[in-house]
Amino acid sequence: MNAYPLIFKFSRPVKTDNFHVAIAAQGRILMKQEFEKWWVYGVTPGSIAESGRTPTEAYYNFLNSFWGVVADISNEQQDCHSFISALNEFIKAGSAEDEKEWQEARNAVRSGQLSDSDPFLNLEKITREAYPSITYKRLDEDEKQKMALDTNKYNNDELLLAKPAA
C-alpha cells in the first residue's frame, strides 16, 4: 500500500488574554510515501500537508502545523464562542476529492492490502466512523492550576488506522 487512511486525535489547552480552554480535536489524514519522503495530507482539515523522512517525523510536522493554525485562530478571536466556531469551520473543511481518496485507502485496508512490512500495521484499527470534531471545556482558575500540575491530562495524541466494518 502507498496511501494510509489515518485518524488523528489530540488535546491541548489553549490560552489567550480573553479565554482559556482545553480542546480535543479529531480529524482524518492520509499518509503517503512519495518522492523518498513521507507526506501527511490533511483530509479534514484539508488545508495542511507536511512531510518528513519517516512517518513519525511527517506526523509530528503535521501536528505542529495543525497547532500553529489553532494558535492563529485563537489569537484572531475575541471570545471563546467565536474561537470554537472558527475552529469547527477549520477542522471540518476539506475537499470531496481528498475524502474520496481517503475512503479508497480505507477500503484497501479492509480488503487486506496491508503487508507485514507496512509501517502502520500495528496501529489500533477502528471500524466506526470518525468524523472531524472539536470538543472543548472552559477552564476556571482552579482547573488552570490543576492543569499546570498535570499537563498529561490535557496533552494527548493518538493515531489510528481507519478500517471499515466487515
pLDDT in tens, 68-83: 999 999 999 999 999 9
Q: Is the pLDDT of residue 128 over 90?
A: no
pLDDT band of 149, cuts 50, 70, 90: very low
pLDDT band of 123, cuts 50, 70, 90: confident
Question: Which residues in 57-154 belong to E strands, given as ranges?
Answer: 125-126, 133-138
Mean pLDDT across the stretch 102-126?
A: 79
d(CA 42, CA 24): 17
Distances (CA, A) of 24 to 5, 7, 97: 20, 13, 26
For residue 152 the three cell numbers come to 498529561
Q: Is the pLDDT of residue 89 over 90?
A: yes
d(CA 105, CA 40): 14
SS3 assignment, position 72: helix
Q: What is the pLDDT of residue 113?
A: 80
Q: What is the pLDDT of residue 125?
A: 72
Q: What is the pLDDT of residue 161?
A: 57
Q: For the chain, give the mean pLDDT.
A: 83
